[in-house]
Chain A
Amino acid sequence: MQISTKDQLSKKKITLSETDLIQALRQKDKIGAEALYDMYSSSLYGIIYRIVQHEEIAEDLLQEAFLKIWNSFNSFDPAKGRLFTWMANLVRNLSIDKIRSKDFRNNSKNQDIENTVNFIDEQRSTAINPDTLGVKDLVDKLKPDQKSILDLVYFRGYTHVEAAEELGIPLGTVKTRLRMAIITLRKFFN
Chain B
Amino acid sequence: MEEITKYIESGILELYVMGDLTPAERAEVEEMSAKHPEIKSEIASIEVGLENYAKTYAVNPSDALRSKVLNQISPQNKTETVQETKVVEISQSGSSLFYKYAFAASLALLVMSIAALFVLNNKLQESNQQLAVLQSSNQQFSNRVNYMTEQLDKNKEALAILHNPEVKMVKLAGTKNAPKASMMVAFNPVKNEVMIDMKMMQMPENDDQHQYQLWALVDGKPVDLGVFDKQDNEDGMKKMKTISYAQAFAVTLEPKGGSVNPTMEQMMVMGAI
Q: Does B90 contact A (CB under 8 A)?
A: no
CA distance A32 to B45 in the complex (A): 25
Q: Give the segment of B10-18, B135-143, B224-232 that binds chain A.
A: B10-18
B56 contacts which of A55, A117, A135 (Cβ < 8 Å)? A135
B72 to chain A, nearest CB (A): 6
Shortest CB distance A59–B (Å): 5
CB–CB B51/A66 < 8 A? no
- Contacting chain A: which of B61-69, B119-127, B174-182, B183-191? B61-69
User: Any chain B CB within 8 A of the CB of A41?
Assistant: yes
Residues A189 and B48 in contact, CB atoms below 8 Å apart: yes
Q: Are A30 and B74 in contact (CB under 8 A)?
A: yes
Contact B59 A124 (CB under 8 A): yes
Residue A21 is within 8 A (CB to CB) of chain B in the complex: no
CB of A73, distance to nearest CB on chain B (Å): 11
B50 within 8 A of A: yes
Main DSSP-derived SS at the A contact region: helix
* CB-contacts of A35-56 with B (<8 A): 37-38, 41-47, 49-50, 55
Contact call A182/B43, Cβ cutoff below 8 A: no
* Nearest neighbor of A121 in chain B, beta-carbon distance: B57
Residue contact A43 to B47, C-beta cutoff 8 Å = no
Q: Are A178 and B11 in contact (CB under 8 A)?
A: yes
Partner of A43, one of B19, B43, B54: B54
**Would A81 and B17 be within 8 Å (CB), given that A63-B65, A66-B69 are in contact?**
yes
Q: Contacts of A153 on B, CB cut-off 8 Å?
A: 18, 20
Known: A81-B43, A185-B50, A189-B49. A132 touches B66 (CB 8 A): no
Cβ B56 vs Cβ A138 within 8 A: yes
The answer to whether B49 touches A186 (Cβ under 8 A) is: yes
**CB of B129 within 8 Å of the partner chain:** no
- Using a CB–CB cutoff of 8 Å, the interface residues on chain B facing chain A are 9-12, 14-15, 17-20, 30, 33, 43-62, 65-66, 68-70, 72-74
For this complex, 17 residue pairs linking A to B, each with C-beta atoms less than 8 Å apart, are A30-B73, A41-B61, A41-B69, A43-B54, A44-B54, A46-B58, A70-B73, A82-B47, A82-B51, A124-B59, A129-B58, A132-B56, A153-B20, A154-B54, A175-B12, A179-B11, A186-B49
Q: A45-B61, A129-B56, A132-B56 are in contact. List 12 more A-B contacts (CB 8 A).
A: A37-B66, A45-B58, A63-B69, A70-B73, A85-B17, A127-B58, A129-B55, A154-B50, A175-B10, A175-B14, A175-B15, A189-B49
